[in-house]
Amino acid sequence: MNSIVNLFRSSIGRKFLMAITGLILVGFAFGHLVGNLQIFLHPDHINGYASFLQGLGPALWLVRLVLLACTVIHIWAAVTLTIESRLARGPEKYGVNKWLSATFASRYMRMTGVVVAAFIVYHIAHFTVGAVQKNTFKSHLTEWTMTEDAREFGVPLASKGDVVHDVYSMVYLGFQNPYVSLFYVIAVGLLTVHVMHGADSMFQTVGLRNHKWGCCLRRAVMLACVVYFLGSLSIPGAILSGIAKPAPGTAAAAACGSCCPSTSAAKPNNFPRHG
């Protein structure tokens, strides 16, 4: 019990907590992106995937509570460490800001964290709760009938004929709004910058960064962050540019009927099948 209390009280303990919770949240972010990229496949994929998650019931809420706890602990640790650092520095300000050796990410770490936190709240309200777009698209009232059995890595997600939420249309119509897409791209970009510096600090906290492989770790992190950003950018980019057309038979296709009548008139079976 004392060790847990010391973990929250000591600076190194809070740095360790921030590193571990950050790692969990980054893992979720990458997993979330993989799920979202299914928007480029047949609607059965992402709709079946969403139905499977919703069917987890208490397990899904447990995951949500863990993620919420990680977010709260991560923010709390960052704030307390910031306050502690300022108190240790004293009331006197430096005559010159010594930023020459600091990266852009480290300089604006706190600011990017605040913007990302605000984005998470908005993203949940937009795509999870559906509160932002109720006037244009009520996701909880729009349904999709599965045309095929959906499986991922051998795990059954939904069966043919199942009536599930049309998450495909919710995502597609959400990103059709250029302001929403712009905010999403900016927030994801700041998240990428945040993770770049955060991962570097995490490796140092847990003792993995040294002269032997520190450079390799940094390059691996940068590569992963670039892949994450480009993957996230591809979704709103493809929808806004018209490269990704709404799947026939979905609410998104019906809503786009005036701007792309050929798409809305097409039959559902014309859309590419699984895999």
The beta strands (E) that lie in the chain are given as 143-145, 150-152, 155-158, 163-165
Phi/psi of residue 146, each to 5°?
-60, 130
Q: Which residues, in sequence order, are bridge partners of residue 165?
A: 143
Nearest to 21 by CA among 252, 195, 171: 195
Domain 2-89+99-241: assigned CATH number: 1.20.1300.10
Q: Which residues, in sequence order, are bridge partners of residue 151?
A: 156
Map out the domains of the chain as residue ranges.
2-89+99-241
pLDDT of the chain, 275 residues: tens digit per residue: 566 666 667 778 888 888 888 888 888 889 889 988 999 999 999 999 988 988 888 898 898 889 888 888 888 888 887 777 777 665 555 444 444 344 444 455 556 666 666 666 666 665 555 555 554 455 444 788 899 988 887 788 898 999 998 889 888 888 888 988 898 898 888 888 888 877 777 777 766 666 666 677 778 888 999 999 999 999 999 999 989 888 888 888 887 764 554 444 434 433 444 44
